[in-house]
Structure 1
Amino acid sequence: MASLIDRIRRFLRSPQGQKARARAERYARDPRTQAKARKLLGRARGGGRRY
């Protein structure tokens, strides 16, 4: 049975995986997406607004 890491590697080498990777890289470069990620990480770390 293939390990999870092997299955992920195999997927990333496939045409579908290449498309998914390109899409993720495009989203990562978008400033709006970066701001959303920073906000989410801040809230996860307890830096969100407190009432």
Structure 2
Amino acid sequence: MAGIMTKIKAWTRSPQGQKARARAERMARDPRTQAKARGLLAKFRGKRRHY
């Protein structure tokens, strides 16, 4: 398992990993993306709410 974690850490430090992280952070700040995530969580919890 340590080999996989080492590879993941190396990828996150690479330019491609940094770019993916920045994109994920931008998406996380988007209210529409947040609403989608809340909806999925509610669905998995069995409570369907509309925000």
TM-score (norm 2): 0.85
Per chain length, whose mean CA-contact separation is higher, i.e. which structure has more relative contact order (CA < 8 Å, sep 6+)?
2
Percent identity of paired positions between Structure 1 and Structure 2: 67
Going by fraction, where is helix more abundant, 1 or 2? 2
> What stretches of structure 2 of length at least 5 have no aligned partner?
none
Instruction: Provide the secondary structure at the position in 1 that maps to 2:39.
Output: helix
Question: Alignment length, in residue pairs?
Answer: 49
Query: 1:6 maps to what in 2?
Result: 6
Task: Give TM-score, length-normalised by structure 1.
Answer: 0.85
